[in-house]
Amino acid sequence: MSSNGRMTPTLAPASMREVMSQFATGVIVLTVGGEHIHGMTANAFSSVSLEPPLLLCCVSHGAVMHRAVSSERRFAVSIMGADQEPLARYFADKERPLGPAQFEPVDWRPGPRTGAPLLQGSLAWLECELSDSYDSGDHSIFIGRVLNSTRGAGQDGLLFFDGRYRRTAAG
């Protein structure tokens, strides 16, 4: 209810999606190793704290990744470079194979701290241990304590804006 006692109208999901499409975000592929190996393209991702090093990612309750992170409690993030749009599209495709088969056509290595796939050619990688999880709406906010971070050689980033992948050149 608003301060005048009237019900506040609920924003339709399509309207929310349209408005939020005007906020440019970076693109990552979130991965989990082990028994629940899985990958998922995401853009709801952010640094939370430097001391201690924490980050967050938001995952839909109905996503395969939600069960994977909740079960394994360790995950990795590959920050996508501008030339990795095909890889970002691949891990966003709900028709790709699940389990280990989804990584067969992909160049990756297991993270030294988590065993989660780190995608080759990415701008940077982070390995995390699940620190906290908060349910909010139709997603969970997963907070990861960063165990390892590495920067790659690439310079141009992959963005998502207005419903499309975009490229940006590092200055």
Q: What is the CATH number of the domain that holds 45?
A: 2.30.110.10
Those residues whose C-beta lies under 8 Å from the C-beta of residue 115, and which sit 6 or more positions away, are 33, 34, 74
In a domain, 16, yes or no: no
In a domain, 3, yes or no: no
Structural domain including 58 reads 27-168
In a domain, 4, yes or no: no
In a domain, 21, yes or no: no
Q: What pLDDT is stored for residue 166 in this prediction?
A: 86
Per-residue model confidence as pLDDT tens digits over 69-125: 999 999 999 999 999 999 999 999 999 999 999 999 999 999 999 999 999 999 999
Number of domains into which the chain is organized: 1
**Mind giving me the DSSP string for 21-68?**
TTS-EE-EEEEE-GGG-EEEEE--EEEEETTTTEEEEEEETTSHHHHH
In a domain, 48, yes or no: yes
Those residues whose C-beta lies under 8 Å from the C-beta of residue 76, and which sit 6 or more positions away, are 30, 31, 32, 33, 111, 114, 116, 117, 118, 125, 126, 127, 128
Per-residue model confidence as pLDDT tens digits over 110-141: 999 999 999 999 999 999 999 999 999 999 99
Q: What pLDDT is stored for residue 7 in this prediction?
A: 60
Q: What pLDDT is stored for residue 143 in this prediction?
A: 98
Query: Per-residue pLDDT averaged across 45-55, rounded?
Result: 97
